Amino acid sequence: MVDLKDKKILYELGLNARITNKALAKKIALSESSTIARLNNLIKNEVLFGTHTLIDNSKMGYQGYRLYFKFISTTPEEERKILDWLKNNRAVSVLARCFGFFDVAVMSWIKERQLFDELITALKEKFRDKITDLEISLYCETYHFNRDYLLENPPKIRKIIKTGGSEIEKIDELDNKILNSMYNDARKSILDISHELKIPPRTIAYRIKQLENKKIIAGYNINLQTTKIGYVYYKLNIILSKNAKFSDILDFAISHKNVIYLDRTIGIYDLQLNMEVKNNEELQKIIEEVKNKFGGIKELSWFQIEKYLKINYI
């Protein structure tokens, strides 16, 4: 079980996963040794399964694609075979097992659209009789929010990070190496990156600061196993009618502590609310709130993220 202090640790790391242990201890009003012990316990119990550097891939010339589909007439072994094939495909950046409207979610961040075309073609050729209801979308932009629901008294103003739809920034080989080194470990020290890349620490620190200033590095976040703290991760897909305004949905997302992402997409669905809630009853309450508040909602569908099988945005 996690208590309020544990949740505060998770919250602060969600704001900035590179925060020092000393600064983190001060934020939660505990000794540094107690804070480190709690942090290690969260990792040991798989509540926290790592950290990541939030990168605006659009600034590096990448485009995001999203694929959902259902299994049809499959055995567990056949499903595992399909998931393993996707996991090993270089065009797949993120792979998740789902429950509900879809069974599988795939995200691809790639520079050449041909790679995604080849992925879809090969998937259909190999497993056409085992998958159905394929839905493909193009990412336009994503709004990231911190997990305010972790706090008893969350701040009145939420921190918002926007990625996607950005102009391309020039970066070199060293920048790419730094990003690859930091992506799956946002807390990796400058000294560790320096030793790994054989580049002076001062140079590494300067380059990271430049990547932050260019907003290529948009932030530092955690990988949270929500079920370990009594929450479930749902994705709510929305098709807007001509009367609905995206700005109104954005305001709703900002004001709702359980919404952690809002994706604007091109495809069957116009946008997607990503939420972490306690149970299906809480989900239904939010869905009714969305329907009542926005008369311009044409269609809704939702599903649950059960488990991530691959996470690699770059």
Q: CATH number, domain at 248?
A: 3.30.70.3460
Banded model confidence at residue 151, pLDDT cuts 50, 70, 90? very high
What pLDDT is stored for residue 313 in this prediction? 64
Question: Is 269 inside a domain boundary?
Answer: yes
Banded model confidence at residue 295, pLDDT cuts 50, 70, 90? confident
Banded model confidence at residue 1, pLDDT cuts 50, 70, 90? confident
Question: Is 141 inside a domain boundary?
Answer: yes
Question: Is 302 inside a domain boundary?
Answer: yes
Helix pair angle (21-28, 4-15), 10° resolution: 130
Q: Model-level pTM?
A: 0.91
Burial profile 188-210: b = 16 or more Cβ within 10 angstroms, e = fewer: bebeebbeebeeeeeebeebbee
Question: Is 94 inside a domain boundary?
Answer: yes
- How far apart CA 205 and CA 304 sit, in angstroms, is 39
Averaged pLDDT, 233-240: 90
Q: How many other CB atoms are there within 10 angstroms of residue 231's CB atom?
A: 20
Count of structural domains, the chain: 1
Structural element, H or E, at residue 288: helix 280-293
Question: Is 72 inside a domain boundary?
Answer: yes
Question: Is 52 inside a domain boundary?
Answer: yes
What pLDDT is stored for residue 294 in this prediction? 78
What pLDDT is stored for residue 299 in this prediction? 84
Range of the domain at 314: 46-169+214-314
